[in-house]
Structure 1
Amino acid sequence: MAVPPPTRILRSAVGTVLTLLFGATLVLIGVILVTWIAPGGARDLHAYEAAPRCPAAPAAPAECRWTQEFTVSGVRLTRSRSESDRAFLTGADGVRRETFYDSRGPVLDALDEGDRVTGTIWRGFVTEIAAEGDSQKTQDAPADMRARGLIGALLTVPCGLLMTAACAWRLLRRRAVPDPTPGMVAALGLAFALFAGGLISPVLLGKNGENLWMVAAVWLPIAILMAAAARLYVTRKRAPETVTI
């Protein structure tokens, strides 16, 4: 019978230490996201929203916003989650810009080569395109990083703390208890499950994957189900064996 991965890890001193360090790193990442990134995460967004219109086309990246006409010289839509959809825009000066997008609509999926769009330029980047009354932001548009930071902390701190606690518990009890207890195994298994659930929660929401409350609404039921499964595992392992006569 195959030994569960958490049990294999906890039976190895090296594996336990490495997993503890990984859990501590997850907690550190969450702390950094909350204390350093989240507080100033909307600074660029507020600067962009308050930026005035440029009086003339800027010769260098500027804090004001400038709009100009572009000709679409290519559109590449992908089905891969690891790649972004993109459009190539050529200005009147002949300069070709490559722009990336998180989704295909409402503008990108209607574009063909040779179409005209109006692009907004800020700090030297095309942050938005508009055509036929619709507009769409590019990946260079500033976003509210506060939500991203808090989501990151939600998905890393709980599993990191549990992972660190389970491994520390095992190391402290290693001499007294040769094999990891069901509680240790369940705690580490739950930590891994929470980490995996955290990774898939934003993916399941698609375009709403940056909404803190929606991510929490998906992650919390997963966490509850995994915690219940871990508790059931411990209960079954600790139940006295039934003797059949």
Structure 2
Amino acid sequence: MLILLSLASAVACCLVFAWWLPSDGERYQDYRAAESCSSGELSRSDTDCLSTWHLTVEKTVNRTAGKESVHDATLTYRDSWRGTVHFNGSGPLLERLRPGDRVTATAWRGEIMVLTEDGVRQDTLEAPRDELQMNAAVGVLAGLVAAQCLVFGTVRLARPQAHEPLTWEPYGRRLLFSVIGVCFAVGLSAVWARVPWWTVPLVAVPLAMGAALWFRVRLRPRR
């Protein structure tokens, strides 16, 4: 079971670094490089440029209850279009909007990226973000989980009756939660510090290895 889990985690790690992270990075760069649509591009329905639309707010939902958060705005364009855009928070614009307000929407590739009203703007959840550090953190976490499961599984196969201390309690559990904490702490710190995504594995992997060694020393029987 642990060997299979290791293989699944290794595949997830490869997918993150080979597909998800490059795809998000390319999408962000394309969005940053996009220019306003010309009249010809609009007539051809070209979605790789930035188009501007003047929409009307029909209603907003701005609710946070426990773990559930809903931050939406339902918009209309004349009588021909009605849609809902989603945000990751209430501010700075969503909390100001009221039914009937007129807003300016910036669209790209068929999705609304930004809403603006009276100089106040807010990105929607569809807007690409330069946060590849968190993609890298997820990939590193998957790789470290794969390594842990492989080591624990191999030891269990080689020594079915004597695989101490590589057991779930207490070493495996402590190590897993430490790895999760390290990866996300490093990823969030990298986002905040605006450092390149490749610094995440350079920092997280040695820290995780240090945690593994520290727990191993702490749990070693004293003579």
Does TM, normalized by the shorter one, top 0.5? yes
Partner of 2:78: 92
**Residue in structure 2 matching 1:189, options 173, 178, 197:** 173
> What's the secondary structure of 2:148's corresponding residue?
helix
Any gaps of 5 or more consecutive residues in structure 1?
Answer: 1-17, 241-245
Partner of 2:150: 164
AA at the equivalent of 1:154:
V
Partner of 2:24: 41
Partner of 1:31: 14
Contact 2:106–2:114 (Cα < 8 Å) also in 1: yes
Partner of 2:91: 105
Q: Percent identity?
A: 22
Any gaps of 5 or more consecutive residues in structure 2?
Answer: none
Partner of 2:126: 140
Contact 2:155–2:163 (Cα < 8 Å) also in 1: no
Partner of 1:12: none
1:146 Cα deviation after fit? 3.7
Q: Hey, what's the Cα distance between the residues in 2 that align with 1:204 and 1:50?
A: 26
Q: Hey, what's the Cα distance between the residues in 2 that align with 1:90 and 1:168?
A: 59
Q: Hey, what's the Cα distance between the residues in 2 that align with 1:43 and 1:145?
A: 12
**Residue in structure 2 matching 1:128, options 114, 134, 141:** 114
Distance 1:58 1:125, change over 3 A: farther
Partner of 2:55: 70
1:86 Cα deviation after fit? 1.0
1:73-124 deviations in whole A, cap 9, x for unaligned? Answer: 1111232545541111111244111001122221112222222211001121
AA at the equivalent of 1:65:
L
Q: Give structure 1 regions of 4+ aligned residues with deviation exceeding 6 angstroms.
A: 202-205, 213-216, 218-222
CA-based RMSD of the aligned residues comes to: 3.6
Q: TM-score, normalised by structure 2?
A: 0.77
Contact 1:69–1:116 (Cα < 8 Å) also in 2: yes
> What's the secondary structure of 1:78's corresponding residue?
strand
AA at the equivalent of 1:25:
A
Answer with 1 or 2: which has the greater Rg.
1
Contact 1:34–1:150 (Cα < 8 Å) also in 2: yes
Q: TM-score, normalised by structure 1?
A: 0.71
In proportion to residue count, which structure has more strand? Answer: 2
